[in-house]
Amino acid sequence: MPARIAVITDSSSCLPDLVASRWAIGVVQIQLNLGGHFDDENRFDRGEVIDAMRAGHTITTAPPDPGAFFWTYQEAATAGATAIVSIHISGRMSDTVRAAREAAQQIRIPVHVLDSRTTGMSLGFAAVSAARAAAAGADAGRVIEAAERRCTTSTEFIYVDTLEYLRRGGRIGAAQAMLGTAFSIKPLLTVKDGEVAPLARVPGTRRALAKMVDLAVKKSGGFRADIAVTRFGASDHELEIGRQIERRVPAMAESMVVEASTVIGAHLGPGALGITVSPVG
């Protein structure tokens, strides 16, 4: 009988509930602190968080408590898992991986904790690939390979109205060099070496979004790829971006529009949009 491998990730993966449920992926919640109210991010109303950010209120984030990982792992073991693959947001962005490793030491079955060195749907697609491999009866080594392959080949393209929220949260990384950009110049970002990095400066929102689509189409390179458009708060742009990509990427495997994790949105700011290009195979 093949080993049953459980796959766990964290809420920065932006996985829609239906997708996580379909593939039996456990999602541990990163935490948010708004006005002294400290709780799992999925317990906050997204609209209220966005309104608070626009009003200038301080919002901070924190990794899950190791206890949250312990009980998630324990539940998987009790349900019959013989090993766990737990894949998480880059350790250069969050201490989530460290909390997972601390909890893993207390579990009676093997727990393999992976630092994805990314976040968002790059992490989400990696978790899905791992879960698919597990569902097909792969052993832990092959499940890990499936996750790592997605992590290393996926790319995040990110648009933000301002770098101010990244600066406040201390997650600005190499994009620090773009601070001071004129208000009319919009920054495009990516994730490189596990942290947010600059990609381009483009005048105006529409040109910046068009540039982001061009970059995503070029990155797909004619290969089959899953593509996700991620938004933090509804805008007039995400559906049109999705339609453009569908027209211009004929080899696309799967396309979806998803809500950004509230924790990610708290660092990127209202109006942030992203495109994830994740080659299949």
Which residue, 175, 196, 189, 198, is CA-closest to 274? 189
Q: Average model confidence (pLDDT) for the chain?
A: 90
pLDDT in tens, 263-281: 999 888 888 999 999 999 6
Output the six-digit token pair for 165: 């929220």
- Determine the pLDDT at residue 228: 96
C-alpha span between 14 and 29 (Å, rounded): 11
252 pLDDT tier (thresholds 50, 70, 90)? confident
Is the Cα torsion angle 138, 143, 145, 147 positive or negative in sign? positive
User: What residues pair up with 225 in beta bridges, in sequence order?
Assistant: 252, 279
Residue 211 has pLDDT above 90, yes or no: yes
What strands lie across the sheet with 83-88, from one edge to the other? 25-28, 5-10, 83-88, 111-115
pLDDT of residue 9: 98
- 89: pLDDT strictly greater than 50: yes
Reply yes or no on whether the pLDDT at 90 is more than 80: yes
Q: Which of these, 12, 8, 17, lies nearest to 31 by C-alpha position?
A: 12
Give residue 2's pLDDT: 54
Average pLDDT over residues 207-227: 92
Cα–chain-centroid distance for residue 15? 8
Of the candidates 203, 198, 205, 200, the residue with the CA atom closest to the CA atom of residue 161: 205
Q: At what angle are helices 66-78 and 96-104 packed, to 10 degrees?
A: 50
pLDDT band at 179 (very low <50, low <70, confident <90, very high): very low
Percent of the chain past pLDDT 70, that is, above it, reads: 93
Give the pLDDT band of residue 3 (cuts 50, 70, 90): low
Task: Identify the CA nearest to 249 among candidates 275, 276, 219, 217.
Answer: 217
230 falls in which pLDDT band (50, 70, 90)? very high
The pTM is what? Answer: 0.92
What local confidence, expressed as pLDDT, does residue 143 receive? 98
> Tens digits of per-residue pLDDT, 55-86?
988 889 999 999 999 999 999 999 999 999 99
Domains observed in the chain = 5-29+64-152 (3.40.50.10170), 155-279 (3.30.1180.10)
Assess contact for 275 and 157: CB atoms under 8 A.
yes
229: which strand partners? 257, 275
State how far the Cα of 247 lies from the Cα of 216, in Å rounded to an integer. Answer: 13
More confident residue, 250 or 30: 30
- Residue 124 tokens, joined: 């989400």
pLDDT at 202 over 80: yes
Which tens digit of pLDDT belongs to each residue from 93-145? 999 999 999 999 999 999 999 999 999 999 999 999 999 999 999 999 999 99
- Residue 168's pLDDT is 66
